[in-house]
Amino acid sequence: MQTHQLVLVLDFGGQYNQLIARRVRDEGVYCEMIRGNTKAEEIRAKSPLGIILTGGPMSVYEKGAPQIDPGVFALGVPILGICYGQQLIAHVLGGKVSSAQKREYGQASVILQKSPLFQGVEGESLCWMSHTDQVRTLPDGFSPIGFTASCPIAAIADETRKIYGVQFHPEVQHSVRGKKILRNFLYQVCGLSGDWRMDSYAEELTEKLRSQIGEGSVLCALSGGVDSSVCAALLHRAVGERLSCVFVDTGLLRKNEAKEVEEQFGKRFGKSLISIDAGARFLQKLGGVSDPEQKRKIIGAEFIRVFEEAAKQLGTVDYLAQGTIYPDVIESGSGSAATIKSHHNVGGLPDVIDFKQIVEPLRDLFKDEVRRLGLELGLPQALVWRQPFPGPGLAVRVLGEITEEKLAILREADAIFREEVATAGLQTSINQYFAVLTNLRSVGVMGDARTYDYAIALRAVETLDFMTVDWSRIPFEVLASASSRIVNEVPEVNRVLYDITTKPPATIEYE
């Protein structure tokens, strides 16, 4: 049963869609993202107090383009359409959308007119545009309330029905007043009070887990990372001694990681922690495999098999729990989104599993929300702010075929880089940093001898939500020290590269 005010985000497949949900939650309002073609009656049953239509990659008039149930506009719920969402409003309600003579991509100056949506931001402002099509004529009842030099209808409003649209993207940071515009929609247009807080959400999740699991027993896949640790703490609060945490050493972990996890969580969970050394079987399964998607699927399937075997040794275990979070779901192709990469715990799962159900209590949360939840559950700061580490481990940081030799090289290089970042006091200002063993070998000179060795790539990013990131401007002296140590201390490495690519177009991880 819904216990807090709800905004629904209807997903039409755009690249920034998950950010909309994130920004809404930042304003103290709970939201859920659902498919854009969800029937109006299903939406009504959820009792939303606001609806946001997202961007999308297609033209609304194209055959096969995502469409909305027209009945949504008759629900009497305030609606905000963004980019494709604005065009969809115009298209469905009787206006016209067509290709623009001049496309708009990047920052543009927009003039915003008086409206509840733009309260406090009227006048000229910078916004982020990303569109080829434009609204040409408006449906009955609508008025233009914003324009740019090349887009005469950059924002629309039907004040009577509280239906609004903007051609630009207020959810991205490049839209200078975008946060205020979204807040206006939530509080000025929808009249919300902002009743969603992490402490109340922790209680809701706990009660939901108790209801879902009942008297059953749970096996939690514990990697020692932030997500699985918070998942385990939440489950422990919900079911107590009926929880068993299984830590699998896949042979793909960072230097000394298995030992650290066993020590830290052995103290927290005691006999509930089961540690399994499965390195040999994972490496055997991955032998000769270079394709990153195949790696992820192999690892996902093998994880399940290991957990099934552990469950049989424990006796009857009803549920498998894992720390899937919202970016995992999005990138694995949930809803209208394209598959970017299959996460081992989402798109990498086998079709048949020997558990009654998979429990994923964090799958609606972004990374920073998971951290806040962890603090709310009493986990220590050092654990909550631990460096993120992908479930497939170093398998997706060794490019190409995986071997013991390559893993040993990467472990040492990665440990050096992390040590240098920590020594420089940058570990809390950089959201994620790590080394990658590329599949590139190049000529070098060490002493008087020619070498032909591997290149290590260093990656460090800063982000609010792990869905879009910027590369971190690490001081040159820190990079120089890391590079010098790596080439001098790690055999088989003669070149160090620093990655300065944002996401998008790149992802954080290489595979």
User: DSSP H helical segments within 138-278, as ranges?
Assistant: 178-184, 198-213, 226-239, 257-269
**Mean pLDDT within 21-48:** 93
Does residue 159 register a pLDDT over 80? yes
Closest CA to 247 of 319, 301, 322, 356: 322
Q: What confidence score (pLDDT) does residue 354 get? A: 67
Number of neighbouring beta carbons within 10 Å of residue 315: 8
Q: Which of the listed residues 134, 162, 189 is the one where a domain comes to its end?
A: 189
Q: What confidence score (pLDDT) does residue 347 get? A: 43
Indicate the number of domains in the chain.
3
Q: What confidence score (pLDDT) does residue 102 get? A: 65
pTM > 0.75: yes or no: no
Catalytic option among 91, 131, 169, 236: 169
Q: What confidence score (pLDDT) does residue 221 get? A: 84
Give catalytic status of residue 169 as yes or no. Answer: yes
DSSP 398: B
- For residues 164 and 464, the model is more confident at 164
Judge contact between 205 and 321, C-beta under 8 A: no
Same domain, 167 and 24: yes
Q: What confidence score (pLDDT) does residue 348 get? A: 45
Same domain, 491 and 454: yes
Q: What confidence score (pLDDT) does residue 2 get? A: 60
Catalytic option among 83, 151, 220, 231: 83
> Is 1 within a domain?
no
User: DSSP H helical segments within 357-437, as ranges?
Assistant: 367-376, 381-384, 404-423
Give the highest mean pLDDT range of 276-280, 345-349, 444-448.
Answer: 276-280
Range of the domain at 306: 198-384
- For residues 163 and 320, the model is more confident at 163
Same domain, 93 and 143: yes
Spatial distance between the Cα atoms of 386 and 58, rounded to a whole number of angstroms: 39
Q: What confidence score (pLDDT) does residue 132 get? A: 78
Q: What confidence score (pLDDT) does residue 345 get? A: 46
Q: Which CATH number does the domain housing residue 246 bear?
A: 3.40.50.620
Give catalytic status of residue 404 as yes or no. Answer: no
Q: Which of the listed residues 189, 217, 247 is the one where a domain comes to its end?
A: 189
Identify the band that residue 88 occupies on the pLDDT scale cut at 50, 70 and 90.
very high
Bond from prior residue into 327 cis (ω within 30 degrees of 0) = no
**Mean pLDDT within 269-296:** 90
C-alpha triplet 454, 251, 302: angle, nearest 5°:
115
Spatial distance between the Cα atoms of 249 and 278, rounded to a whole number of angstroms: 6
Same domain, 342 and 314: yes
User: DSSP H helical segments within 249-403, as ranges?
Assistant: 257-269, 279-286, 292-314, 326-331, 367-376, 381-384
Catalytic option among 127, 151, 171, 231: 171
